[in-house]
């Protein structure tokens, strides 16, 4: 069977900062990495505009441009970069088996999972149209662009509370819309938000539309008890209703938390399956930054290199049992 299948040494799934950084390190370590880009080559940064907090770009850089540079560097080091989606995996034995585009299976001695996460949106047309022009799903990334301005944030959980507090230190007023009559956030976070003078909380309030032609100018909200609609002028709209890690195809093989974030051994990128590593946002619900994703991509390549060195002369042995 295995004779007919392509057999790669180091397979990288995902082409965001984590995947490309893993590729740069793996290629330089002569692991001959093959990288599948998925449906969003370049990852989440391709849907943003200016990135100002990635070191090495003193004047900032456009997200899509930066990811082209990552790709070029990975390619120049010798990574085999391919357009394709991993659609299924079988980690029951080594070499591992990964299905691409529901068409072909390939064998891999090691796998680096760097499939990222996707922000959840309310689903408004205006949200997508103004994405990157005042609409954002990342306050830490984009809050600074609205220094001294009025902004709004949507969400009632801990992330929304944390991001509202972050924005309150930069922006003049933070209008905080909560769909229910209470927060889901922890008590301590709720208190911090409610005690911050420039955060204005609106209960039972849902966003009806983000307004603005080229950039965000205002938001129209609706009180879901009274039906009353109000237009509030804001320069930015931050949505913080959760992220979904792109980990569905690994369910049953890799241990995850209740949201689907892949669990790694602290201080490493090792998963519960020896030889399978996870890097970037798919395993990180705390930091979710390009630089941390890139850092863990580097770790994954170094972990894979060590692993491959250790098993180099071993026979194929059973690798894992399905979990869950
Ligand atoms: C609007 C926005 C603005 C942001 N701005 C900043 C910023 O200014 N600074 C900053 O540091 N961070 C910013 N971030 C966060 C940053 O983009 C992420 O932390 C970072 O991209 C995570 O990198 P990653 O490699 O883990 O995953 P991602 O960038 O999410 O990439 C995941 C990759 O995996 C691929 N993939 C998924 N499933 C599969 C599959 N089954 N098979 C093959 N490939 C697959 C996708 O196609 C994609 O290429 C921003 C995020 C957003 C949404």
Ligand 1 atom 14: the closest Cα is on which residue? Answer: 289
Ligand 1 contact, 245 CB (< 6 A) = no
Q: What is the pLDDT of residues 118-131, one digit of tens each?
A: 989 999 999 999 99
**What SS3 state is found at 319?**
coil
Q: What is the pLDDT of residues 19-70, one digit of tens each?
A: 999 999 999 999 999 999 999 999 999 887 889 999 999 999 999 999 999 9
pLDDT at 2 (0 to 100): 44
Where are the strands (E) in 130-268, listed by range?
135-136, 150-154, 173-177, 199-202, 205-211, 218-223, 229-233, 236-239, 243-245
Kindly tell me if the per-residue pLDDT of 12 is higher than 90: yes
Positions annotated as catalytic residues are: 138, 141-142
Kindly tell me if the per-residue pLDDT of 324 is higher than 60: no
- Structure tokens belonging to residue 9: 């040494």
* Distance from residue 68's CA to the centre of ligand 1 (Å): 13
Single pTM value for the model: 0.85
pLDDT at 47 (0 to 100): 80
pLDDT at 27 (0 to 100): 98
Ligand 1 contact, 280 CB (< 6 A) = yes
Kindly tell me if the per-residue pLDDT of 313 is higher than 60: no
Residue with tokens 């965000």: 216
Ligand 1 contact, 134 CB (< 6 A) = no
* C-alpha to C-alpha distance for 297 and 186, rounded to whole angstroms: 32
Sign of CA pseudo-dihedral 276, 282, 288, 291: positive
Sequence-distant (≥ 6) Cβ neighbours of residue 199 within 8 angstroms: 164, 165, 168, 173, 174, 176, 193
Ligand 1 contact, 38 CB (< 6 A) = yes
Q: Which of 290, 294, 296, 300 to mutate to test the pocket of ligand 1 (most atoms within 8 A of CB)?
A: 290
Q: Which of 104, 138, 298 to mutate to test the pocket of ligand 1 (most atoms within 8 A of CB)?
A: 138
Q: How confident is the model at residue 3 (pLDDT cuts 50, 70, 90)?
A: low
Within a 10 A sphere around the Cβ of 208, how many other Cβ atoms?
16
Ligand 1 atom 27: the closest Cα is on which residue? Answer: 116
* Distance from residue 240's CA to the centre of ligand 1 (Å): 16
* C-alpha to C-alpha distance for 315 and 26, rounded to whole angstroms: 22
* C-alpha to C-alpha distance for 219 and 256, rounded to whole angstroms: 36
* Distance from residue 117's CA to the centre of ligand 1 (Å): 6
pLDDT at 319 (0 to 100): 55
Sequence-distant (≥ 6) Cβ neighbours of residue 292 within 8 angstroms: 280, 284
* Distance from residue 200's CA to the centre of ligand 1 (Å): 31
Give percent of the chain with pLDDT exceeding 90.
Answer: 87
Phi-psi region of 318 (alpha: psi -120 to 50; beta: other; left: phi over 0): beta
Ligand 1 atom 53: the closest Cα is on which residue? Answer: 44
pLDDT at 4 (0 to 100): 79
Q: What is the pLDDT of residues 139-190, one digit of tens each?
A: 988 999 999 999 999 999 988 999 999 999 999 999 999 999 999 888 999 9
């Amino acid at each position: 069977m295995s004779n007919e299948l392509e057999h790669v040494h180091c397979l990288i799934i995902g082409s965001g900062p984590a995947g490309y950084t893993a590729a740069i390190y793996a290629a330089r370590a002569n692991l001959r990495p093959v990288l599948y880009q998925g449906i969003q080559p370049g990852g989440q940064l391709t849907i943003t505009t200016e990135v100002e907090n990635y070191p090495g770009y003193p004047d900032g850089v456009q997200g899509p441009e930066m990811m082209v540079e990552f790709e070029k560097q990975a390619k120049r080091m010798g990574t085999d970069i391919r357009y394709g989606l991993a659609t299924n995996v079988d980690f029951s034995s080594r070499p591992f088996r990964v299905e691409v585009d529901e068409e072909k299976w390939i064998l891999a001695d090691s796998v680096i999972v760097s499939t990222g996460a996707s922000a959840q949106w309310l689903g408004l047309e205006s949200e997508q149209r103004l994405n990157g022009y005042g609409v954002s799903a990342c306050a830490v990334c984009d809050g600074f662009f609205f220094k001294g301005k009025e902004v709004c944030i949507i969400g009632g959980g801990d992330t929304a509370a944390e991001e509202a507090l972050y924005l309150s230190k930069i922006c003049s007023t933070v209008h905080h819309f909560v769909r229910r009559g209470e927060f889901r956030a922890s008590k301590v976070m709720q208190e911090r938000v409610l005690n911050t003078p420039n955060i204005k909380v609106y209960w039972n309030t849902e966003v009806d539309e983000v307004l603005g032609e080229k950039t965000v100018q205002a938001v129209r909200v609706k009180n879901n008890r009274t039906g009353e609609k109000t237009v509030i002028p804001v320069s930015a709209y931050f949505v913080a209703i959760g992220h979904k890690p792109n980990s569905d195809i690994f369910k049953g093989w890799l241990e995850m938390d209740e949201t689907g974030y892949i669990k790694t051994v602290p201080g490493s990128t090792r998963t519960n399956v020896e030889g399978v590593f996870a890097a970037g946002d798919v395993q990180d619900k705390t930091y979710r930054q390009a630089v941390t994703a890139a850092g863990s991509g580097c770790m994954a390549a170094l972990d894979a290199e060590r692993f491959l060195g250790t098993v180099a002369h071993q026979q194929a042995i059973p690798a894992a049992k399905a979990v869950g």
